[in-house]
């Protein structure tokens, strides 16, 4: 009934281990490490500000 209901495993489907996927993702993130760090820092600052505003008020 769902969108993926008729999808069956094909012969050409690949299976990757978790370690292989993490290594592939790490190569992509390594190129953008600075942007990723800035985004993470900004997210933490905004989340902290939102959480502390409830305590201060």
Domain residue spans of the chain: 33-57
* pLDDT score for 56: 64
**Average pLDDT along the chain, 57 residues, taken 10 residues at a time:** 72 84 91 93 95 74
* pLDDT score for 22: 94
Q: Which residue has the tokens 């390594």?
A: 30
* pLDDT score for 28: 87
- Backbone dihedral angles phi then psi of residue 38, each to the nearest 5 degrees: -65, -40
Q: How far apart, in Å, are the Cα atoms of 7 and each of 2, 23, 28, 40, 41?
A: 10, 28, 29, 36, 40
Cβ–Cβ under 8 Å, residues 29 and 36:
yes
State the helix-helix crossing angle for 18-31 and 33-56, rounded to 10 degrees: 90
């Amino acid at each position: 009934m769902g969108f993926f209901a008729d999808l069956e495993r094909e012969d050409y489907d690949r299976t990757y281990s978790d370690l292989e996927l993490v290594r592939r993702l790490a190569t992509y993130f390594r190129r953008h490490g600075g942007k990723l760090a800035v985004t993470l820092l900004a997210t933490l600052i905004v989340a902290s500000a939102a959480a502390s505003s409830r305590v201060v008020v």
